[in-house]
Amino acid sequence: MYARGLRPLLFLLPPEAAHALAFAALAPIERVAAARALVRAALAPRPLDRRRLTVRAMGLEFPSPLGLASGFDKNARRPRALAALGFGHLELGTVTARPQNENPRPNLFRLPADRALVNRLGFPNEGAARVAARLRAAHPAIGIPVGLSIGKSRPVRADDLSAVVADYVASFDLVRDAADFIVVNVSSPNTAGLRAMQAHEHAHALLSSLADRAGGAARLLVKVAPDLDEAELEGLLSVVEEVGFAGVVATNTTIGRIGLSTDASRIASIGDGGLSGPPLRGRAVEFVRRARARLGRKAVVIGVGGVERAEHAMALVRAGANLVQLYTGFVYEGPFAPALMARELARMVEREQVDTIADLVGDG
């Protein structure tokens, strides 16, 4: 119904307007407990399916491996409604220590021929303090694990390492008690100089400072770029291991434009920004595999990139992902996608004749 009816109408609108309309439609579910209960009951998996899909990681219980990636709900405005749709966890944000506006428009583009998106939003958010306060108020009624992504405030110079570390620490201090886990975003292509923080020396300074501040890093993850070469990824993963982070989110959006069906002139007219969706799928699977092989069985690996159907999620699980996230697939497949995908994943687990999906997580 969504793909044939509602999506074509939404796609007549600019992406920003369609996103605002979707948030307006979620408002009654967010604000009315009875509405959330009805939606949750209609979409909830059967008890046996839930048992098959339950994942335990970071001392948390996830009712499904399918989560929402950061970027969709930057300001924690609809977490209860999104949870009711059947997600097993949410990653909200990215938030920064200082409130900031989006980059100049246009900054969000659809590529329907590739079922992809390009964005150069640049961490627009109301600031870590305000978002954390909103999340604290909502958290008891969300019912699933919630993570917050933290990033660098735009005015902080990327070449001033001590200032960058202090900025991230400030964000962490503001949100640490509001979320179940924290994702350190050093890989967005839309904040100037940010990706340099993935280099070994810079990453070690940042991640070790956050681990020290947390008194341990059992629920800290770092999000990596899909554009790292093998040596760069290995260097970053070695830092994750050295400082004791729980694991990684693989991957962020890509600056690459290889193998697209969209007309090259259209791609050129869009310009810079991070590409998400199916063109990223193969790279995400490979990065998950490499992360799992490097970090071992105890690490947490969240796979992100091109997930539209249950088989895409399962490919990431078999490559080594404990958990999987979608964003672009949610935009293209619609509000019932997480519940429908969860049901199909449960059937896939049943066909494999294992107890839970955790038994299918690959070794990389």
For residue range 120-172, list pLDDT tens digits in order: 999 999 999 999 999 999 988 999 999 999 999 999 999 999 999 999 999 99
* pLDDT score at 140: 87
pLDDT tens digits for range 265-276:
999 999 999 999
Banded pLDDT at 229 (limits 50, 70, 90): very high
* pLDDT score at 1: 66
Banded pLDDT at 10 (limits 50, 70, 90): confident
Annotated active-site residue in 153, 188, 238, 265: 188
**Measured between alpha carbons, how far is 68 from 201 in angstroms, rounded to an integer?**
31
pLDDT over 80 (residue 336): yes
Q: List, in order of start, the domains of the chain with CATH numbers.
A: 2-360 (3.20.20.70)
Q: Considering the chain, what is the average pLDDT of its residues?
A: 96
pLDDT over 90 (residue 105): yes
Of 30, 33, 62, 29, the closest CA to residue 45 belongs to: 62
* pLDDT score at 3: 66
pLDDT over 70 (residue 264): yes
In this structure, the dihedral spanned by the alpha carbons of residues 203, 192, 249 and 66, taken in order and rounded to 10 degrees, is 160
Of 120, 106, 58, the closest CA to residue 323 belongs to: 58
**Measured between alpha carbons, how far is 92 from 307 in angstroms, rounded to an integer?**
18
pLDDT over 80 (residue 4): no
Q: What is the share, in percent, of the chain residues with pLDDT greater than 70?
A: 99
209 is catalytic: no
